[in-house]
A = this chain, B = another copy of it.
Amino acid sequence: MRPQIYLFGDSITEGSFCDGGWGSSLAHHFSRTMDVVLRGYSGYNTRWALKVVERVLPAENGGAPLAVTVFFGANDACILDRCSGFQHVPLHEYKQNLHSIASFLKNQWPTTLILLITPPPIDEEERLKHPYVENPLGLPERTNEAAGAYAKACIEVAGERGIPVIDLWTKMQQFPDWQKVCLRKSFSLENSQKNNSDGLHLNQTGNKVVFEEVVTKLRENGLSLETLPFDLPLISEIDTKDPLKAFEK
């Protein structure tokens, strides 16, 4: 069986196989070496994720995966008394839930690489233009400041456990004009409607940032095209004079 990486997260994971999405880019990159298994659940926070993690990533699903990305926080960070307040999870509970998810995975699959990803930054102006529910207050239901606090908490969890983390919140804001570069629709793209960029979800460049960060972290932890075995002989390894020789076991 081919090794696997599970992508466990919210809508930014569920939508990661859009055109140029970070999930499909991973699957393309590892097309002969690793299966990229999508387990994204739009709208989910860590409280709900913790309720379902045993069903999403059951022990009996074959062997241990090589890696699992755990990418939550964008919904936990919804402001409690605003229009998406039902998704809010208090900061201390978010930290505890991430610990619990990581403990569950560590206990079940001791050798599996757990890779945390912080929530991305929020473009509040765009969030107001694309409400998911009625927003009578007229205030953004997610703020960049709150996302930053949850990102910091996520990094703390990684530090406390000694596991890798991608600080997407900081990384994306290093781009000048990051809102436009990473989060807004790029109309030059034929299929841009598939990227429902709305100040929270990522456009192709934002997706590329996540893809490159994940590939880098996997590589730092020994998982790369240089170390993973290719599934079956590559065409370049096949003797044109005697092709079938390559398929003798």
**Using a CB–CB distance below 8 Å, which chain A residues touch chain B?**
1, 14-15, 17-21, 23-25, 27-28, 31-32, 35, 37-44, 47-48, 51-52, 55-56, 58, 61-62, 86-87, 186, 188-191, 194, 204, 231-232, 234-235, 238, 240-241, 243-244, 246-247
- Do residues B51 and A244 form an inter-chain contact, with CB atoms below 8 A? yes
Which residues from B are CB-within-8-Å of A25?
17, 19
- Do residues B37 and A28 form an inter-chain contact, with CB atoms below 8 A? no
Q: A17-B25, A24-B27, A86-B238 are in contact. List 19 more A-B contacts (CB 8 A).
A: A15-B31, A17-B27, A17-B31, A19-B20, A19-B204, A20-B20, A20-B191, A21-B28, A27-B27, A43-B238, A44-B235, A48-B244, A48-B247, A55-B232, A56-B231, A61-B62, A86-B240, A188-B188, A189-B189
Top-4 shortest CB links A-B: A43-B235, A24-B24, A17-B28, A86-B240
Which residues from B are CB-within-8-Å of A1?
58, 61
With the chains together, A48 CA to B239 CA distance in Å? 13
With the chains together, A40 CA to B241 CA distance in Å? 23
Which residues from B are CB-within-8-Å of A18?
24, 28
CB distance from A238 to the nearest CB of B (A): 7
Select from chain B the residue with minimum beta-carbon distance to A31: B14
With the chains together, A84 CA to B232 CA distance in Å? 20
A-B contact pairs, 12 of them (CB 8 A): A1-B58, A14-B31, A19-B24, A24-B24, A31-B38, A41-B232, A44-B235, A47-B243, A52-B232, A86-B240, A86-B243, A186-B190
With the chains together, A55 CA to B48 CA distance in Å? 38
Q: Tell whether A247 pairs with B52 under 8 Å between CB atoms, given A188-B190, A238-B43.
A: yes
With the chains together, A40 CA to B231 CA distance in Å? 10
Which residues from B are CB-within-8-Å of A235?
42-44
Q: Tell whether A243 pairs with B24 under 8 Å between CB atoms, given A1-B61, A31-B14, A56-B232.
A: no
- Do residues A14 and B43 form an inter-chain contact, with CB atoms below 8 A? no
CB distance from A208 to the nearest CB of B (A): 9
